[in-house]
Structure 1
Amino acid sequence: MSATKIIHSIPSDPLTGSISVPVYQTSTFIQDAPGVNKGYDYARSNNPTRKALEDVVAGLEGGHAAFAFATGLAAIDAVLKTLKSGDEIVAVDDIYGGAYRLFTHVYEKLGLNIKYVDTTIVENVANAVSSKTKFIWIESPTNPTLKVSDIKAIANIAKSINALLVVDNTFASPIAQQPLALGADIVIHSGTKYIGGHSDLVAGLVVTKTQELSEQIKFIQNASGGILGPWDCFLTIRGIETLDIRYRKQCENAQKVAEFLLKCDQVDNVYFPGLTAHKNHEIAKRQQNGLFGGIISFTLKDDTVAAANVFVTNTNYFKLAESLGGVKSLLCHPPQMTHASVPREKRLQTGIKDSLIRLSCGIEEAEDLIKDLESAFKRVASKKLVQAI
């Protein structure tokens, strides 16, 4: 969807002519008679501001319908609730720590079986699935090591066993990647990230491909009640208005920063799909429309938590914080922050080394971001020098 179509897919208010979607800050709606209303009866079930957001997001992803939840994890939870005890999920091994925690500490106890595989190798997925597999669950790119999986190939595997492919599209955003068009059945977003874009809200979004799936998620949204409030819906809509221009600038910045990191003596590995050395660069180039996102991860040659701590506490423009995708650049240390709930042994198996640092490039000038990182590298080097003396 072009920037023009995105902006003009957001409706104006037919009642007043307001160019912005109104915030319907109400808990209930007056009815003409029992069950006779103007399409709304109670705000958990529906709300005009939320409906506007959901319609816009469905259009962004080319889906049948979309559903807005209070957080990204609430969106994931709603999708999981379509399963039953004994069902199986084949999931990407490098999965978001919050999703891993939810899978492991909540749903495995309720009888779901989760298999984790490196989905960047299609054969791994084919070998892992079984007659009990109901979902193949991937992030592409993944959080935090930016693994890229072939969505179309994995969708074919899912269809061959009558399973569904769920794609977390948070890192690529609808600007770069359209998983439903590539064969996925359900798309999930943490709307907190690129879609909201300003680090001022938390939100989750589910986009469904078919009417049947839409009816299932709508029922769960209403029955479980983890909905996104009208004000946060308004903020998310406002974020979508600049999504295209923001995301493209962040991609541009990340490419420059990643190329800088490749040349740094203190850096061991750089993880970014826009680098030709990336394992699945060509797949990313094809299915992400040549846009590689604003997230970069890298490890230090001094692969210690101590070295990482020095680095992440000595930047100026990159603010140390959870989350990503906002207009201000952020950085974090996943082993102690976003992925602390994942056991260290499993983290190491999936490439999350002790020194792994994740950068989220904002819309500042790339040259300023690079100077900021150079300063942090100098602090790491001086710290080592002091220790050596």
Structure 2
Amino acid sequence: MLKKNDAQGHSVHPATASLHAGFRSDPTTKAVCVPIYQNTAYELDGDLSKIADIYNVKEDGYTYTRIINPTTRALETRFAAVDNAADCLAVASGQAATFIALANLCSGQPGDNIVAAPFLYGNTWNLLHNTFRRFGIETRTAANSEPAEFEKHVDDRTICLFGECVSNPILDPLPVRSLAEIGRKRGIPVVVDNTTTPLVCRPSNLGAAMATYSATKYICGHGTTLGGLISDYGSFPFQQYPDRFPLFSAPDEAHGGILWHQAVQEVNDLGKSAALLKARMTWLRDTGPCASPFNSFQLLQGLETLHLRMRQHCENAEIVADMLNNHPKVVRVTHPSHFTGRKRELADDLFDKRYGYGAMLMFEVKDAASGRALIENVEMIYHVSNVGDARTLITHPVSTTHTTVPREKRMAAGINDGTIRLCVGLEHADDIIRDLERALSAVN
């Protein structure tokens, strides 16, 4: 098994880790690719006291696929190496990843709150402001993405600062490094959603405690497979803040009075993150959004080429953004490569320039009718509301994802009548441009 560092202590490049980490070969057949262990349960043979230790989190082992599965565990270990994380937990979708990552931090007592960025993916916004509210977890929204606006809402029951590294769809950059400084000062972890910029943005280098991913998007890369991933970077000392995070330092009744900071020291494979060990053995066990073994296999295939695809996605996006910026029927283009001033400083801090500035961009035509005409006249590009596919995807939010949102709220969130979201794929840039120019020619 390849670790994050090789035998000589050299850091393993993500391109290497994506092919080798977490699995060398099947011990029985010597098959090189990770097998699909498409089963639910595992034979409990041998010493019953040893089996009891597995259930009591005193020893590694497989019990039930809702909690742990060999194929899924290979994905978790491999992505942890790619993402420079202590460990990783795979779940059924990106929404499940966000839910479990945040719910896992709650104390179980009234008063817990999350301070969130103002621009969030719509379903994340609903999770935080409606579903979590019904559980007694309040979400407070910063007025803008300035760190001081986050800190205004912090109190002694704040369980995390949360936002998307680059918001979907308006591409607002999150000041992760500055938020992490506030978090260190106040004893609060920063949790980020890095779905749209895996590898392009490295949360571990910016001070984030944890990151969530909809692996359905770029990690899969081909629009075929649902999945979610939670990375714990091992940088936040939950046990040092028992008043804020009592379940990380006091006995947890959800698992027989276990002390998670002690349990993580008794296991080997699962002994790299107390936070994710707790999430696996309580939230994943009790709510059940486990990753399918077959989906985990599919995500492993996508992960192998992630570093290649993200470079090409980003390169194509910059070329397309430049073309649109010079087109007479385009009112405005939003892409991090075109940012100036403070936003450009943030983008340069967030993004690894060896990859680029991300694959998503927004542009505007003059009105809703122009937006609809554009969408109706693309031929090669797919009109799809998903993101992160190998193919270029386009959508007019006013006619699709934001059609039920009141106009004033939609425009306050940066979605105007003629806003178009474009997720640039892996086709040749000339063909993407040719299709967009054809569609723009139909706009009055």
Identify the match of residue 235 of structure 1 among 298, 302, 312.
Answer: 298
TM-score, normalization by structure 1: 0.92
Identify the match of residue 5 of structure 1 among 5, 13, 17.
Answer: 17
Identify the match of residue 216 of structure 1 among 278, 288, 298.
Answer: 278
- Closer/same/farther in 2, CA of residues 64 and 339 from structure 1, 3 Å limit: farther
Counterpart in the other structure of 2:57: none
CA distance in 2, matches of 1:59, 1:135: 24
- Closer/same/farther in 2, CA of residues 39 and 339 from structure 1, 3 Å limit: farther
- Closer/same/farther in 2, CA of residues 54 and 340 from structure 1, 3 Å limit: farther
Identify the match of residue 229 of structure 2 among 205, 209, 220.
Answer: 205
> Gapped runs of 5+ residues in structure 1?
382-389
User: Aligned letter for 2:16?
Assistant: T
Identify the match of residue 260 of structure 1 among 314, 318, 323.
Answer: 323
Contact preservation (8 Å) 2:118, 2:143: yes
Counterpart in the other structure of 1:15: 28
Counterpart in the other structure of 1:78: 100
CA distance in 2, matches of 1:27, 1:64: 27
User: Aligned letter for 1:267?
Assistant: V
CA distance in 2, matches of 1:341, 1:89: 26
Counterpart in the other structure of 1:155: 180
The residue correspondences of 1:1-389 to structure 2 (distance < 5 A) are 1-9=13-21, 11=23, 12-33=25-46, 34=48, 36=51, 39-82=61-104, 83=106, 84=108, 85-117=110-142, 119-173=144-198, 175-210=199-234, 211-219=273-281, 220-277=283-340, 280-290=343-353, 291-300=356-365, 302-304=366-368, 306-339=369-402, 343-381=406-444
- Quote the offset at 1:287 in angstroms: 2.5
Contact preservation (8 Å) 1:100, 1:342: no
User: Aligned letter for 1:178?
Assistant: R
User: Aligned letter for 2:43?
Assistant: I
- Closer/same/farther in 2, CA of residues 120 and 223 from structure 1, 3 Å limit: same
- Quote the offset at 1:341 in angstroms: 6.4
Question: Residue 443 of structure 2: SS of its match in structure 1?
Answer: helix
User: Aligned letter for 1:142?
Assistant: S
- Closer/same/farther in 2, CA of residues 348 and 358 from structure 1, 3 Å limit: same
CA distance in 1, matches of 2:70, 2:196: 28
Greater Cα shift, 313-322 or 17-26 = 313-322
CA distance in 2, matches of 1:108, 1:276: 35
- Closer/same/farther in 2, CA of residues 140 and 341 from structure 1, 3 Å limit: farther
CA distance in 2, matches of 1:317, 1:277: 32
Question: Residue 90 of structure 1: SS of its match in structure 2?
Answer: strand
User: Aligned letter for 2:275?
Assistant: L
Counterpart in the other structure of 1:386: none
- Closer/same/farther in 2, CA of residues 258 and 147 from structure 1, 3 Å limit: same
Greater Cα shift, 148-157 or 120-129 = 120-129
- Closer/same/farther in 2, CA of residues 248 and 13 from structure 1, 3 Å limit: same
- Closer/same/farther in 2, CA of residues 222 and 119 from structure 1, 3 Å limit: farther
Greater Cα shift, 16-25 or 281-290 = 281-290
What is the RMSD computed on CA atoms of the aligned residues?
Answer: 1.9
- How many pairs were matched up? 378
User: Aligned letter for 1:288?
Assistant: F
> Gapped runs of 5+ residues in structure 2?
1-12, 55-59, 235-272
Give the % identical residues: 31
CA distance in 1, matches of 2:82, 2:17: 9
Question: Residue 380 of structure 1: SS of its match in structure 2?
Answer: coil
TM-score, normalization by structure 2: 0.81
